[in-house]
Amino acid sequence: MVKKIDRIIKSGFEKYRLVKKSPIILGVLSGFSVFHFLYFFGAYGIQKGLSYSGHSHLFRSISFGVLTFAYLILFETWLKPKWAATPIKHRVIWYVGLVILGSQLIFILFNYFWNWQEWNFGAYLLIMKEFPLMMVLPLSFYLALKAVSKAKPIAGKYIIFQSENGKDQLKLSLEDFMYASSSENYITIFYTSNNDSKQHLIRKPLKVLEQELKAIPDIERAHRSYLVNRRNIRTVKQLKGKVQVEINGTSVPVSKSFQKHFLD
């Protein structure tokens, strides 16, 4: 398990660059999947000849693929970062919603090619059944890619703090990281640079960051709003049942449920 984590850590930068391109990968794979199933396997019961609109089988197959590519790229790169779907149930809702939306768009384009002659419940159910099946492989590959491409600490010496949309990142040595404080979906990273105390704000829930840094035993949850670097704890104070740790001159509260980790 440790060796596996080390391999992931050593390839951190490459995977970080890859994950930034992953929405494009999702769009390309999904668009090609739709084209492939339509052109070679006749999905949706697509006709081989000209449609009522005068378009060929090849043109229609490409059009459905391009539509799938375009709407996925738009939603993954533009709308998703604004929504910040982080808990697993929110991510499930997001991708189920993407598939449902794609079905509606495909149904509309399908009817355009056939002069709205297929605007009926039977044709709608056919597309609602077949489009999700076409999306299983590309979407599964995309989610697996994102899972292994999360920014990780590099070579055991550095940590990359990355915003939810991947556009903002802060690379720190483990020794320079002091603690992280959260407020709603934002995290303030407290660190030192050239012996100066600094802060950096990123958009990401603290629970997600905690999972990303789980492989580093020195970084531990102290409170529902704080992650701390145990290496930089100077003192642990206990008064009237309340515990605080002092890091770089700042007192950080420790919740009762986490006190045992700091008092042992």
d(CA 109, CA 193) in angstroms, rounded, equals: 55
pLDDT in tens, 70-86: 999 998 887 776 664 45
Identify which has the larger pLDDT, 66 or 214: 66
What phi, psi does 81 have (nearest 5°)?
-60, -30
User: Crossing angle of helices 121-148/22-41, nearest 10°?
Assistant: 140
- Name every residue whose Cβ is closer than 8 Å to that of residue 210 and which is 6 or more positions away in sequence: 221, 227
Question: What kind and span of H or E run contains 27?
Answer: helix 22-41
Highest averaged pLDDT of the listed ranges 88-92, 144-148, 176-180: 176-180
Res 153: pLDDT = 43
Contact 114, 80 (CB under 8 A): no
**Could you tell me the pTM of the whole model?**
0.55
pLDDT band at 21 (very low <50, low <70, confident <90, very high): low
Q: Is the pLDDT of residue 40 over 50?
A: yes
Res 150: pLDDT = 55
Give CATH 2.40.50.1020 domain extents, the chain: 158-263
User: Crossing angle of helices 121-148/88-113, nearest 10°?
Assistant: 140
Question: What kind and span of H or E run contains 244?
Answer: strand 242-247
Contact 50, 56 (CB under 8 A): yes
- Name every residue whose Cβ is closer than 8 Å to that of residue 203 and which is 6 or more positions away in sequence: 84, 163, 164, 165, 168, 185, 186, 187
Res 217: pLDDT = 87
CATH superfamily of 158-263: LytTr DNA-binding domain (2.40.50.1020)
Overall average pLDDT of the 43-48 stretch: 85
Contact 216, 153 (CB under 8 A): yes
